[in-house]
Amino acid sequence: MTSDAGGPSSVTVELLGVLAYGELSAFDRLAEDARAAPTLAGRAQLSTMAAAEIGHFRLIEDHLGGAGVAVADAMAPFVSLVDSYHASTAPRSWLESLVKAYLGDGLGADFYREVAGWVDPATGELVRKVLADTGHSAFAEREVRAGCAANPAQRDRLALWGRRLLGEAVTHAQRVVAERDDLAEFIVLGSGERGGVAGLIKTVQVAHGRRMGRLGLS
Amino acid sequence: MTSDAGGPSSVTVELLGVLAYGELSAFDRLAEDARAAPTLAGRAQLSTMAAAEIGHFRLIEDHLGGAGVAVADAMAPFVSLVDSYHASTAPRSWLESLVKAYLGDGLGADFYREVAGWVDPATGELVRKVLADTGHSAFAEREVRAGCAANPAQRDRLALWGRRLLGEAVTHAQRVVAERDDLAEFIVLGSGERGGVAGLIKTVQVAHGRRMGRLGLS
């Protein structure tokens, strides 16, 4: 599954393309959401989280660039599906933004942490670096818990929101895989007896539940 | 002009407050403008420029935090004036966004480079670091020149736009100073025989003209 030129395999380029556009679009959404922050400190915090996505994006850009692949080319096939995910999960409040950022980062990290073991070592290392927690989780956990403590109805709404985010993410990820036989094959081979795409989704669901718990939403 | 506790002077906190909010709001505007990029590569580039502003913002936040000042408190008095500058100079096209980012960064850098010599050494060093060119100027110069080469009427419009940006920036900066006697006094004392606020504006105008030239707009 490696290319003729010995560069990254086409599946690796696809995985990094989705990840890169995931980071770029997360930047865009977080930057937009930052405007709705209730305080200047919160706005600065969410803007900083957005900027961190670009730090990750650039790591991928450099990695692909080193292999002669323009990140824009790698991202292009996935723009409309990722945009569709964001359009279907547009936050309507500050706390929904934070929950989405927190859970969305987590979902992406779960998936790519699994995948990191199935790609070439240099790409695996890159992926682990990109997904390292940037230290903003604690902020989201604190804000969401505080918001819910002040308003229990809020907690129920956010718990529903968290479940919807998982559903939309899984649906959209399945559509990406359904459109690409090589990706599906890569996941089936990589996951082995852990059960292919279905097994991967199960793993992600369990971790999602734990994160909901940390936000006080389980 | 130092505070009783030996921390940064109140004027230093004001200068860093304006600079910090300038960075945070520039981030916000660039992130918004990035969406209007004609290509995915251009969008990534402008998003990266936006993220760099947050890197600068955090340097100021850490510096102020080390002196026991919350950056949000330092920024608060300047939010409405800086927002008013941005509202009066909302770009209507991709090239207007690039010209604004390029010239705006330059104007800020001119002002703060002067001021860096008038504050305590640690703050001066911080300011020089914050204003170091992040390497994105070359991108803006190339894009703007290419856009104008393809369309000379475009060049005339952008030249007008560049002059308007200077006018709005100067007007808004003057309003900041007019509302704060300590800032006015600080500039008069710092600039010495170079002519106070008027002398500073002159310096900024000359550098602005050089930058317009580098964009091919003089």
Give me the DSSP letters along A45-94: HHHHHHHHHHHHHHHHHHHHHHTT--HHHHHGGGHHHHHHHHHHT--SSH
Reply yes or no on whether the pLDDT at A3 is more than 50. no
Q: Cβ(B130)–Cβ(B201) under 8 Å?
A: no
Q: How confident is the model at residue A114 (pLDDT cuts 50, 70, 90)?
A: confident
What percent of chain B clears pLDDT 90, i.e. is strictly above it?
66
Q: Which of A27, A30, A78 to mutate to test the interface with B (most CBs of B within 10 A)?
A: A27
Q: Cβ(A2)–Cβ(A119) under 8 Å?
A: no
What percent of chain A clears pLDDT 90, i.e. is strictly above it?
67
Q: How confident is the model at residue A195 (pLDDT cuts 50, 70, 90)?
A: confident
pLDDT digits (tens, 9 = 90+) for B125-151: 999 888 876 667 888 999 999 999 989
CA distance B170 to chain A (A): 25
Whole-Å CA distances, A106 to A17, A89, A100, A131, B22: 18, 16, 10, 9, 32
Residues of A in contact with B53 (CB under 8 A): 51
Q: Kindly calculate the radius of gyration of chain B based on its CA atoms and give it in whole angstroms.
A: 17
CA distance A100 to chain B (A): 19
SS3 of residue A33 by DSSP: helix
Reply yes or no on whether the pLDDT at B1 is more than 50. no
Q: Which residue of A has its CA nearest to B71?
A: A41
Per DSSP, B216 falls in state T
Q: Cβ(B16)–Cβ(B67) under 8 Å?
A: no
